[in-house]
């Protein structure tokens, strides 16, 4: 039997690229989110299918390795599939290729199925028959060495961001893709211009609502930086980004 995947080709827009004509991380995450939604729709547990059951999926981790920088003029194809849930965690992986089939990025994401009345985690069996018959694919596109991002020990506050209505998803929390912009804005264009993003991880720990102000902290290491978004001193989201020089 052929392995399941949702495959979608995207023609990229000018607005998907940054000032260096390179694909923004938030645009990359938005493509992954779009394909995840399309896949869930065709498998029977999309947003419109499970909202009447007071159920929803909330992302908790993202790991991405970028194999080739995507530049203005590229088109991308996203292939995604769900893995069998374990311990109540749903994993979904992705391969992203260019118009010639060259691999540009690989991602792995982890999700919780939640009861929308309480936003508490619930079991896959709540999905009923669509879970029982889902063609889960037990194959990873990429596996991080660890999902855990260490807490900052000497981080400094670099900026603040007030979550606005334009940041919201349909659960009325800041959409996961927007955090890539929040965190990348903690770097200057000069800092980013000479380096290429090799990989990044995001841990989403607490939902943030409209009007709440995030304090963004940053700590730098030899080849990576760790950032935290804090709300009233509580860590809401963590971000670890790995760089390499562009001439490598």
C-beta of residue 219 within 8 angstroms of C-beta of residue 226: yes
In a shared domain, residues 22 and 62: yes
Please return the burial class of 153, using the count of CB atoms within 10 Å of its CB with bins 0-12, 13-18 and 19+: exposed
Domain that residue 246 falls in: 148-248
pTM of the entire predicted model: 0.94
Give, for all 248 residues of the chain, the pLDDT tens digit.
Answer: 589 999 999 999 999 999 999 999 999 999 999 999 999 999 999 999 999 999 999 999 999 999 999 999 999 999 999 999 999 999 999 999 999 999 999 999 999 999 999 989 999 999 999 999 999 999 999 999 999 999 999 999 999 999 999 999 988 889 999 999 999 999 999 999 888 999 999 999 999 999 999 999 999 998 899 999 999 989 999 999 999 988 65
Instruction: Give the C-alpha separation, 136 to 158, whole Å.
Output: 42
How high is the pLDDT of residue 148? 94
Instruction: Give the C-alpha separation, 147 to 149, whole Å.
Output: 7
In a shared domain, residues 96 and 187: no
**The CATH number of the domain where 132 resides is what?**
3.10.129.10
How high is the pLDDT of residue 102? 96
Instruction: Give the C-alpha separation, 198 to 179, whole Å.
Output: 18
Query: What are the phi and psi torsion angles at 94 (to 5°)?
Result: -145, 145
How high is the pLDDT of residue 171? 86
In a shared domain, residues 117 and 208: no
Last residue of a domain, one of 145, 176, 194: 145
Instruction: Give the C-alpha separation, 179 to 183, whole Å.
Output: 6
Predicted confidence (pLDDT) per residue in 153-191, tens digit: 999 999 999 999 999 998 888 999 999 999 999 999 999
CA 144 to chain centre: 14
- Split into its structural domains, the chain has a count of 2
In a shared domain, residues 26 and 125: yes
Instruction: Give the C-alpha separation, 31 to 230, whole Å.
Output: 26
Instruction: Give the C-alpha separation, 224 to 160, whole Å.
Output: 21
In a shared domain, residues 222 and 101: no
For the four alpha carbons of 182, 144, 132 and 5, in that order, the dihedral sign comes to positive
Instruction: Give the C-alpha separation, 104 to 214, whole Å.
Output: 32
């Amino acid at each position: 039997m052929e392995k399941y995947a949702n495959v979608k080709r995207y023609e990229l827009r000018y607005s998907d690229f940054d000032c260096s004509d390179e694909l923004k991380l938030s645009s990359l995450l938005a493509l992954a989110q779009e394909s995840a939604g399309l896949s869930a729709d065709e498998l029977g547990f999309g947003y419109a299918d499970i909202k009447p059951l007071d159920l929803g999926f909330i992302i908790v981790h993202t790991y991405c390795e970028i194999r080739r920088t995507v530049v203005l003029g590229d088109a991308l194809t996203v292939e995604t599939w769900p893995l069998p849930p374990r311990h109540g965690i749903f994993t979904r992986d992705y391969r992203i290729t260019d118009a010639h089939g060259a691999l540009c990025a690989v991602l792995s994401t982890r999700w919780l199925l939640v009861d929308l009345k309480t936003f508490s985690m619930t079991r896959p069996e709540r999905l009923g028959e669509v879970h029982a018959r889902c063609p889960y694919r037990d194959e990873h596109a990429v596996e991080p060495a660890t999902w855990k991002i260490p807490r900052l020990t000497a981080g400094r506050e670099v900026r603040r961001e007030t979550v606005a209505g334009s940041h919201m998803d349909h659960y009325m929390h800041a959409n996961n893709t927007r955090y890539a912009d929040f965190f990348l804005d903690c770097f200057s264009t000069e800092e980013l211009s000479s380096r290429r993003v090799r990989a990044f991880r995001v841990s989403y720990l607490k939902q943030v609502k409209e009007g709440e102000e995030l304090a963004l902290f940053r700590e730098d290491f030899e080849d990576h930086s760790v950032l935290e978004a804090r709300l009233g001193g509580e860590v809401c989201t963590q971000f670890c980004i790995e760089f390499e020089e562009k001439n490598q």
